[in-house]
Amino acid sequence: MIRKVLNKYFFRTFFVALLPFGNCFFAHAQATLKTYRSINIADNKTSAKGLSAQGIIQQFFKTYKTDGTSKAITYLFNTNKLFTDTAQIAELKRKMEVLRQSVGEYIGNELISQKNAGKSLYYFSYLVKFDEQPVHFTFMFYKPKNEWVLYHFKFDADLDAELEQAGKVK
């Protein structure tokens, strides 16, 4: 019994210790693509059409809570046709599921900061609360014409760096 509990905490500590050192994942839409391929990952029927950037994030977290990691990522990445690397998206889903299993049950989220560059590029930083520890999610959205699309997504368990940076005297 004690060995099982120690193994659980060892795994969690080991995983969380490694996460800030290169296991964070980010995705970034590329301006130039060799070919345009359609992403056939649309197993999620929820559409982002007509939603604000914050509306897309709210739907992402709703899907994350009710339907799990895979469907939430599918929803998020379906907003941008330039995300064509299905292997990379599958790897993101795997890493996020491993993270979710190691930090406990999803509790909720809090907006840390929001910045914009004009009216077409928004950045959002979220504290995502789990039973065991918080995780940091960042989203960047771009509005080329009429619809918001995901431009950048990142998650990591290293909230210390951002909080320390925010606390520094300028």
25: containing domain? 2-167
CATH number, domain with residue 16: 3.10.450.50
* Interval 125-165: pLDDT, tens: 999 999 999 999 999 999 999 999 999 999 987 777 766 77
pLDDT band at 8 (very low <50, low <70, confident <90, very high): low
What are the C-alpha distances in Å from 98 to residues 23, 24, 92, 132? 11, 12, 10, 14
Mean pLDDT for the stretch of residues 63-88: 90
Q: What is the pTM of this model?
A: 0.69
Q: Is 22 left (phi over 0), alpha (psi -120 to 50) or beta?
A: left
- Count how many domains the chain has: 1
pLDDT for res 50: 75
Phi and psi (nearest 5°) for 146?
-110, -15
Q: Which residue has the tokens 């800030």?
A: 20
Mean pLDDT for the stretch of residues 93-103: 90
pLDDT band at 86 (very low <50, low <70, confident <90, very high): confident
Higher pLDDT, 168 or 22: 168
* Interval 16-67: pLDDT, tens: 444 443 344 444 443 322 222 223 333 334 456 778 999 999 999 999 999 9
